[in-house]
Amino acid sequence: MKILDRYVTASFIKNYLLSFMILVGLYVVLDMLFNFDDLMAVQTRGGYSGIETVWPLLRTLGDYYFYQIFLFFVQLSGIIPIVAAAFTLMRMSRQNELSAILSAGVPLLRLAWPIIAAAIVLNALLMVDQELVIPQMIPKLTRSHNEAGQASGSSFQIHSMQDENRSLLLAAKYVPDPEKPFMQEITIIRRNEEFMPVAQITAERADWEPRVNGGQWKLTRAKIVTGLEPGGKTTIRDYTEPYKGSITPEEVGLYRSGAFVNLLSTERINQLLDRPLSYGSAQLLRVKHARFTQPLMNIILLLLAIPCVLTREPGKLKRAAMKCLLLSGLGLGSIFLCTMLGGKSPKPEWANQWPAAMAFVPIVIFGPLAVFLLDRVES
């Protein structure tokens, strides 16, 4: 049995690597085709023309898609083992290897265990990618296609963000520098419990200092106007203290794009959720629960696919492949639908429970179905 297990495991891993290269490569090519005009912006930025464009363009594409591959792997992590397992078992069936194994007294389901065990181990790569690799690449991954080749995404304006003290932050320009992000021409409006303005702070620049007091913004040439409440006496003076509100570069990223939360580690998501009035808490909860259920759902999808293609009759492979494609498509579609619904609670009082419920819906539906199909395998 050890020889058979090694043989099946080796075949599955080879097909896993092949599926990874094919699916990720196809993803990269399609993304490149649909966004080729934006990627060609390197030609106008560098002033290149003709054949001179080729090398800068290739260098830009390599710089952009090298980092995007790690994100593509997260999105394809459920499909890759399905394709690898299907190729492995269908090849063995077509070459009548399954018939020989059955004649030796080995049940078909026993043949699937090395594939399931290898998939569980390889599934750990997903957690390493999400928790350790991607969070270190956030400045590179937040770039748009026409920003390929740059160190980070372009600057943008902050219209209004609220911190845990009810203060509002506005900035004419925010620069997401990977080393030291900063803001220019900022205004901080302090408000009381009735949300009425009581003071206003203005500064020419604010630099992020992550290692000071748990993170703060150092203000440059700042002034504060107090006494803005009705009947108050207005005064203006220099302001030398840093801004220590809950607004961090991560929350600014959430302010710009809800997809930014997918790049944060679970530890960082929990830290943001622990803050009162954390920006984008619904999306934070959605991603937090999806991080837990995604590896489980990847294994369930594999368990759905294996009974479909685990047959010793080569004449049934076409029908088996169609059944595998249908069930896998339904499973992936349910994950996508529940992920989208998880960030939109129908009632405010369900805000904390709704994302968790939506994350577990695909498991509740397809988990028992996978067990049922495995039990019906003819061996």
CA dist., res. 46 & res. 227, Å (int): 52
Lowest mean pLDDT, pick from 161-175, 275-289, 321-335, 341-355: 275-289
The yes-or-no verdict on residue 244 having pLDDT over 60 is: yes
Segments making up each domain of the chain, as ranges:
2-144+284-375, 155-279
Q: Read off the pLDDT of residues 33-42 as tens digits, 9 standing for 90 and up.
A: 888 777 776 5
Share of the chain above pLDDT 70, in %: 92
The yes-or-no verdict on residue 281 having pLDDT over 80 is: no
- Give which of 347, 365, 343 is closest to 355, Cα–Cα: 343
Place 280 in a pLDDT band, splitting at 50, 70 and 90.
Answer: low
* pLDDT given at position 115: 92
189: number of Cβ within 10 Å: 19
Residue where the block lists tokens 């181990």: 121
Task: Reply yes or no on domain 155-279 having CATH 2.60.450.
Answer: yes
Q: Read off the pLDDT of residues 164-187 as tens digits, 9 standing for 90 and up.
A: 778 888 999 898 877 788 899 999
With contact defined as beta carbons under 8 Å apart, do 269 and 288 qualify?
Answer: yes
155: number of Cβ within 10 Å: 16
Number of residues in the chain: 379
CA dist., res. 43 & res. 236, Å (int): 50
Distances (CA, A) of 344 to 112, 200, 270, 341, 360: 39, 34, 19, 5, 15
Distances (CA, A) of 260 to 141, 184, 195: 9, 22, 29
* pLDDT given at position 204: 92
- Residues whose CB falls within 8 Å of the CB of residue 343, separated by 6 or more in sequence, listed in order: 258, 282, 283, 285, 286, 355
Residue 146: φ, ψ to 5°: -80, 0
With contact defined as beta carbons under 8 Å apart, do 229 and 192 qualify?
Answer: yes
b/e map 266-293, b = 16+ CB within 10 Å: eebbebbeebeebbbbbbbbbbbbbbeb
With contact defined as beta carbons under 8 Å apart, do 171 and 184 qualify?
Answer: yes
Cα–chain center distance at 46: 32
The yes-or-no verdict on residue 289 having pLDDT over 80 is: yes
Distances (CA, A) of 66 to 128, 134, 148, 253, 298: 17, 12, 11, 22, 24
* pLDDT given at position 249: 83
- Residues whose CB falls within 8 Å of the CB of residue 157, separated by 6 or more in sequence, listed in order: 171, 172, 173, 174
Position 153, amino acid: G
The yes-or-no verdict on residue 296 having pLDDT over 90 is: yes
* Mean pLDDT, range 307-328, rounded to an integer: 85
* pLDDT given at position 352: 81
The yes-or-no verdict on residue 80 having pLDDT over 90 is: yes
For 187, the token pair is 């205004």
Residue where the block lists tokens 């577990």: 360
240 three-class SS: coil
Mean pLDDT of the chain: 84
Of the segments 223-227, 254-258, 366-370, which one has the largest average pLDDT value?
366-370
Q: Read off the pLDDT of residues 24-61 as tens digits, 9 standing for 90 and up.
A: 999 999 988 888 777 776 555 555 555 566 777 778 88
For 236, the token pair is 């203006």
Q: Read off the pLDDT of residues 131-167 as tens digits, 9 standing for 90 and up.
A: 999 988 887 887 777 777 676 667 788 888 888 778 8
